[in-house]
Amino acid sequence: MTTDYRIEKDSLGDIRVPKKALYGAQTMRAIQNYPISGRTAHPALIRAYLRLKSAAASANAKAGVLSPNSARLITQAVNELLKMPITEWSLIFPVDPYQAGAGTSQNMNMNEVIANVGNRLAGKKLGTYHPLHPNDHVNRSQSTNDTFPTAMRMALLDASLPLAGELKALAASFLKKSQAWMKIPKSGRTHLQDAVPMRLGQEIAAYATVLNRCAVWLEQGRNELRELGIGGSAAGTGLTVPPVYRKTIIPELSKLTGEKLRPASNLCEAMQSQSPVVFYSSMLRLMSLELTRICNDLRLLASGPHTGLAEILLPAVQPGSSIMPGKVNPSILEMANQTWYSVLGYEQTVTYAVQAGQLELNVMMPIMAYSALEATQVATQAIQVLRLRCIDGLEPNEPRLKRYFESTPQIATALSPRLGYETTAKLVKESLERGCSVIDLVKERKLIPLHDLEKLLKIDALAPVNPK
């Protein structure tokens, strides 16, 4: 009689594991214990953990605590897993992100899978754990407490690289628009009220500047992630870790990741504190706040088209209503705003998780990793879509911009040095009462010679591109 499961043992006793599963007993217990979200670890975390296990095998072999054959099998197993389509990883690494503290289940899932794949390469059956054992060989010189934070930081470095690129690309798109629109005048607004004249290009160039600044902030956050506590073992004391391993592991990881990684100056601190992760996530927060502001501005500038500002025209990407024919909404900007709110929520989760460390360890790392990686991924995708399907296709509504520019009472601000504040204020009040422009009143009363007035109202005088 055949069965579709095999019996494995751990310190708690026997447990049934699906016969063809690459994982083992501790992963099976995690599946049973944590049916929380139906999700699995982010692929970037899996990739980082696999690379870490490969680097650890190499470092252990150099330290003389792992045989060359065992190290070779581990490396081969890791390479085979890395070559698999990531769509298969959720079945192989099925542990829910909402799991026991520190990520022991995730670490053991990695250890069991690598051992089983390595043993299968050696011609052994799944679940035999010979010649590779999950703990004795794959996890040699390691603890969940130093491997999970290391994998988490490596994963964030991996996932955030495209985000940095997308931020710069979005900034470049805004900059291109600003350069093309630098000769277009518009009415500036403060307090949502008419303010001084300016150029449309100046308004858009400011968006490019802050997005480039966000990219710099993000790189500062990424740099904090390059500090690793690997080799600290359970509490940062390095118990069971050979000195050669500690010296070798980070150069091995740097080679595998292409990142300039560095050891933590205090391994005990690296176990207690996950401040580099919240430093990174706080950069996501700053980015999201700025992007929220920019998207809100664009929605306002595009409002209408007949009863709003309608100073810019957005690309139409979908019908805007199920009941109002012809209506087009700022759909991409709305999607983007919702994404930034989500990122802010994930960042808040990271903040709470980081402050929850106690004594020698912060055990809230699994949700920390999940939240920071999800925030990074959705932000990256949203910024790309925002650029390609909205910002690249923005157009100025020049007739509307010109009308607002010429009719705003606050164009009188440029005349106040010539006429005086009190006289100019009276002109503004009268223009509002009569529904005419300040310029018309000045011309009507010949307060400024026409030649001088024309000079004062030129866009170069009203809104210098680079004011000194």
Residue 276 makes CB contacts below 8 A (sequence gap 6+) with 153, 224, 225, 227
**Would you place residue 405 in the very low, low, confident or very high pLDDT band (cuts 50, 70, 90)?**
confident
Res. 421: pLDDT tops 60: yes
Res. 251: pLDDT tops 60: yes
Same domain, yes or no, for 238 and 133?
no
54, containing H or E segment = helix 43-63
Name residue 396's amino acid. Answer: P
Query: Residue 417 belongs to a domain with what CATH number?
Result: 1.10.40
Query: Residue 88 belongs to a domain with what CATH number?
Result: 1.10.275.10
Same domain, yes or no, for 128 and 226?
no
Q: What is the per-residue pLDDT for 196? A: 86
Res. 4: pLDDT tops 60: yes
- Per residue in 288-342, pLDDT tens? 999 999 999 999 999 998 999 999 999 999 887 777 867 889 999 999 999 999 9
Q: What is the average per-residue pLDDT within 36-40?
A: 97
Res. 263: pLDDT tops 60: yes
Residue 284 makes CB contacts below 8 A (sequence gap 6+) with 218, 221, 343, 346, 347, 372, 375, 376, 379
Which among 365, 374, 381 has a CA at the least distance from the CA of 344? 374
Q: Measured between alpha carbons, how far is 402 from 400 in angstroms, rounded to an integer? A: 5
Q: Measured between alpha carbons, how far is 450 from 455 in angstroms, rounded to an integer? A: 9
Domain's final residue, options 112, 140, 168: 140
* Domains of the chain: total: 3
In a domain, 151, yes or no: no
Q: Measured between alpha carbons, how far is 134 from 89 in angstroms, rounded to an integer? A: 18
In a domain, 336, yes or no: yes
Q: What is the per-residue pLDDT for 42? A: 97
Query: Residue 289 belongs to a domain with what CATH number?
Result: 1.20.200.10
User: For the packed helices 144-180 and 275-301, what is the interaxial angle rounded to 10 degrees?
Assistant: 30
Same domain, yes or no, for 302 and 416?
no
Same domain, yes or no, for 104 and 214?
no
Q: What is the average per-residue pLDDT within 126-142?
A: 97
Same domain, yes or no, for 80 and 24?
yes
Same domain, yes or no, for 304 and 260?
yes
Same domain, yes or no, for 82 and 194?
no
- Per residue in 164-218, pLDDT tens? 999 999 999 999 999 999 999 999 999 999 888 899 999 999 999 999 999 999 9
User: What percent of the chain clears pLDDT 70, i.e. is strictly above it?
Assistant: 99
Res. 35: pLDDT tops 60: yes
Q: What is the per-residue pLDDT for 378? A: 98
409: preceding bond cis by omega (within 30 degrees): no
Instruction: Tell me what the pLDDT averaged over the chain comes to.
Output: 94
Q: Please answer whether residues 118 and 77 qualify as being in contact, where contact means their C-beta atoms are separated by less than 8 angstroms.
A: yes
Q: What is the per-residue pLDDT for 413? A: 80
Same domain, yes or no, for 121 and 175?
no
**Pairing assessment for the beta strands 227-228 and 262-263 based on DSSP bridges:** parallel
Q: Please answer whether residues 411 and 440 qualify as being in contact, where contact means their C-beta atoms are separated by less than 8 angstroms.
A: no
In a domain, 146, yes or no: no
- Per residue in 55-114, pLDDT tens? 999 999 999 999 999 999 999 999 999 999 999 999 999 999 999 999 999 999 999 999
Same domain, yes or no, for 368 and 280?
yes
Domain's final residue, options 140, 167, 195: 140
Q: What are phi and psi of 187, to 5 degrees?
A: -90, 120
Same domain, yes or no, for 114 and 192?
no
Q: What is the average per-residue pLDDT within 340-356?
A: 98
Q: What is the per-residue pLDDT for 274? A: 97
Same domain, yes or no, for 292 and 356?
yes
In a domain, 145, yes or no: no
- Domain ranges, residue 451: 408-462
Task: Report CA Rg, the chain.
Answer: 30
In a domain, 153, yes or no: no
Neighbours of 220 (CB within 10 A): 13
Q: Measured between alpha carbons, how far is 91 from 312 in angstroms, rounded to an integer? A: 48
Q: Measured between alpha carbons, how far is 269 from 275 in angstroms, rounded to an integer? A: 10
**Residues designated as active site:** 321
Residue 262 pairs in a beta bridge with 227
Q: What is the per-residue pLDDT for 455? A: 84
- Which of 4-8, 348-352, 362-366, 415-419 is predicted with the least confidence, judged by mean pLDDT? 415-419
Residue 9 pairs in a beta bridge with 14
**Would you place residue 467 in the very low, low, confident or very high pLDDT band (cuts 50, 70, 90)?**
low
Q: Which two tokens stand for residue 39?
A: 């999700």
In a domain, 149, yes or no: no
In a domain, 152, yes or no: no
In a domain, 233, yes or no: yes
Q: What is the per-residue pLDDT for 46? A: 98
Residue 13 pairs in a beta bridge with 10
Res. 3: pLDDT tops 80: no
Same domain, yes or no, for 163 and 47?
no
Q: What is the average per-residue pLDDT within 247-254?
A: 97
Domain's final residue, options 105, 140, 175: 140
Res. 415: pLDDT tops 90: no
131: preceding bond cis by omega (within 30 degrees): yes
Res. 2: pLDDT tops 60: no
- Which of 224-228, 294-298, 387-391, 411-415 is predicted with the least confidence, judged by mean pLDDT? 411-415
Q: Measured between alpha carbons, how far is 289 from 343 in angstroms, rounded to an integer? A: 10
